[in-house]
Amino acid sequence: MILNSQQSAFEYEKKSNKHVYLHRHANKLINYKIIGLTQGLIIPDDLIAEIEYYMRRNSIGEARQCCPRCLKAHMIKTADDIGISSDGKKFLSLFIKGDVGHDGYYLDGDELVII
């Protein structure tokens, strides 16, 4: 599910640890979008909203974090689904260090997704 840019991925209580963690990463995404623009790459707001929503629905533990490998896989797969260029996907892959997914898969909630 891809959110419209008008929809907020922050429709939850702002006083939780989850908010602090996700807000920090949302700010990083916005900054990354600006860096992309300076390089001639457009990262659509819909993609940023979906990444924020993925982080919200897949955060676990007391620190309210999600698996960076799964997040990276979802980000690249969603970018591919909405038609981001290969240069754009390479740029996005630099946002999160490490491997993409786990042996060709990643988790989205309780669903195992093939990359």
pTM of the full predicted structure? Answer: 0.72
Q: How many structural domains comprise the chain?
A: 1
Residue 41 lies inside a defined structural domain of this protein: yes
Within a domain: residue 36? yes
Question: Is 4 domain-assigned?
Answer: no
12 belongs to a structural domain: no
Rounded Cα gap, residues 32 and 55, in angstroms: 16
Tokens matching residue 50: 């979906």
Cα distances (Å, whole numbers) of residue 2 to 6, 15, 38, 102: 12, 25, 25, 22
Task: Render pLDDT for 39-74 as a digit per residue (tens, 0 to 9).
Answer: 888 888 888 889 889 988 898 776 678 889 999 999
Its domain, for residue 49, covers 17-114
1 is a domain residue? no
